[in-house]
Amino acid sequence: MTSPALPGTLSLTDFYAFMPRLPDGSLSLSSDQQQALEHDFALPLWVIAGPGTGKTHTLVWLVLKRLLVDGVPPQRLMLTTFTRKAATELRTRLIQARQAMVDAGLKAAEGIDLSQLMLGTLHELASEVLQRERYHETLRVRLLGDELTQQFFVRRSRNPLMDCDDLTFWQRFKFIKGADVFPPNKAKRAEYACKLFNRMTENSVDLSLLRSSGEPHLVVLADAYDAYLTNLHKGHRSDQGLLQRHFLDYLKSPAGQGWVDQGLTLLVDEYQDTNPIQEEIYFHLAGTRGDLTVVGDDDQSLYRFRGATVEALTSFDLACRHFLGRQPVPLYLTENRRSHPQIVDWVNAYIGGHPEMVDPVVRVRAPGKPLLVAKSGMTGTYPAVAAIAEGANPQAAQKVAALVAGLIQDGLVSDPSQIALLTFSTRETTHGVGPYVDAIRAQGLSVYNPRSRRAHVDARLLALVGAFSLILDPDYAEANLVAGLPRGVPKYIQDARAAFVQLIDGGLYPELESYVIDSRSAIAAATIDPANPFLKRKGGQQVILSMLLFKLLSQEPFASDLRDAEGGERIKALNLIMAEYEALFSDGRIKLASDPGGGSRVDGWTVYNFYSVFVEGIHDGLNDPEDSEMTLQPGAVNVMTIHQSKGLEFEVVIVLRPDKQPFVSDTHELEDQFHTFSAHPTKPTHRRSQEERAAEDAIRLFFVAYSRAKRLLVVAGQLHPKCAPSWDRVMGAAFGSGKISKRADLAGLGAHLL
């Protein structure tokens, strides 16, 4: 067969002919996936893709079909994803799929320049378009790239909420409990302020409506948000949410409408995690053509705490009618090619076994959603779904560790990384996953837990912080400054200083010790210029904090840590925090003051800011950064949050702490607080109660956890009628026989007891 010379002239029949085939000669597409490719896109396409049904596979071939058959220019096709990692995977698989077609003889595929695709997260694509189109509001604007940086900015710009001591204000939004007698500390105020501001942006909250409500707390909030916007504008900065607001404003402008009217094909991945402002952006991108495809699964919606709303997916048809005046075509991907049939049966029964997932008024799930169909081809009559239920977590942990060791020793998994321990929180406390990881390590096995929030107490990183403290603050800060530090930070600083002293006490690192002593001496001997009272080198160049960091990192043992994968990633995270701190606090310059005892010292407020913002940010729980290209650690049992496991799959999944119960959080409160004042055009007219939404969140969370498993799913934890909550919430009591509070109650659920 001869291939056409140009893209866009290939028939769908020929496209299929050049697609890779399965061993039996059939297409590597299910009938549902073929329907997606054969859609004519005169109407929007609404794809509900359950776990393991080949969502990414569908997107890859759909993109290539739109390019090669429909003739969409690559530079006019936009594919948005939820994370950078997902974007990287999609790009890689697109390149591989195109190459497979080239290898099969399709010359037209060689002419497709995939680098021209607009592929990435919405934040990345918004920034790219706004810069390329020279949108005035975002020219020369620096983005606050993460939550910690945003909190630094709120503190540095002295937002009014930083001085809000009104307990009832913080209680209103459920940031503190009604019984609390003290307002949040400065660090927490910054965290909560950012959460409030982000939700206001994402929900298009109307400040005039807030103020006209006459409620004092809402007026305070409106003024604080207004001050935040003003300070961002003055500082030529934007946060992630406001970047999207700028993008939406651009799309509504004549220039933006002209850009969209050139023709745009839009595909949106993970649509269940879309927030209100993103939904509006997507429909404006679709323009009058309405060439829009959304792909997602309402049962895997996990990011309400970041402002996502599952209604974007479950009510996509209503939004299409509002924005486009037309009805989308629904398509369900149901063939699960990941899991053992018993696991598929389990997740079907689980998600359908909760009355909370049905509501006569509100669409909790996508309408008409069918069950998953097992198509993995896995065979075997062994119990693929099992439970470890003990009277206390330490006993359950011993059984889990023995199971893990047995799977590895018997060769049932080829690498420990094929086993994942999933849980709500991976902090290694006695009441969390601590007993489980300790028991596995006691078996001589490695455990990788990048979300343990323990990186900040790593001995080497602690010593690095201690070196900084000893250089900038040899005698430890003045009592009145230290007393004002956030709770726990003074002890953390003392621990860091002690860690550095312990590091050099053995005499193994004389150059590091000399550098710290010499730096302290240089500060004490520095001459202060009243007009420019900052620490300078001999040549007159100002010394900044990152210079000290680089000098310290050039010394052993820190230099060797940079060559170690885990240590290097921790130091990289520290460096990123330092860069953002410098950008907001005097460019990292070190201000000097006269020492009452003679000579010079670092100014007290410079030291205080360094401790109260930079060090406090680390102390609050610096995570081991996750490599953008690799989430799993070969040779180690992977411990991760259920959120982190989204999009992954494992031969064996062990879900820990099924006694975890749903809880109403500030997230659910903020949804209710801002609902009345939101200007979002498709906001739901009716909201379920906070308790019902919290139950939905817990059910979906464990649905995601269970559906990661390929060959073996184990639920493990404490189950005791007197000592622990029952498991009915996370096991699906409705398809069992009542409340699950003892081992006998598990018998009717199809879980094999270990």
Binding residues for ATP: 49-56
Question: What is d(CA 747, CA 752) in angstroms, rounded to the nearest whole number?
Answer: 8
275 with 309: CB under 8 angstroms?
Answer: yes
DSSP 541: P
Residue that has been written with the tokens 């999609």 in this structure = 90
E strand or H helix at 642: helix 642-645
From the number of C-beta atoms within 10 Å of its C-beta (0-12, 13-18, 19+), residue 249 rates as middle
Query: What DSSP letter does each residue of 170-201 carry, written as one string?
Result: HHHTTSS-TT--S---HHHHHHHHHHHHHHHH
The tokens describing 3, both together, are: 């291939």
| H/E segment holding residue 120 | strand 118-121
Are 222 and 194 a contacting pair, CB within 8 Å?
no
Return the half-sphere exposure (C-beta side, CA atoms, 13 A cut-off) of residue 722: 0
Strand partners, 753: 387
**Residue ranges of E strands in 369-418:** 373-374, 385-390
Position of tokens 């081809």? 377
Crossing angle, helix 147-156 and helix 216-234, to 10 degrees?
100
Binding positions are 49-56
Tokens of 237: 């900065």
Give the three-class secondary structure for 531: coil
Query: 3-class SS at 158?
Result: coil
Encoded tokens for 411: 């060769």
How far apart (Å, rounded) are the C-alpha atoms in residues 101 and 154?
A: 51
Straight-line distance from the first to the last Cα atom of the chain, in angstroms, rounded to the nearest whole number: 58
- 317: three-class secondary structure by DSSP: helix
Give me the DSSP letters along 574-618: HHHHHHHHHHHTGGGB-BEEE-TTSSEEE-HHHHHHIIIIIIHHH
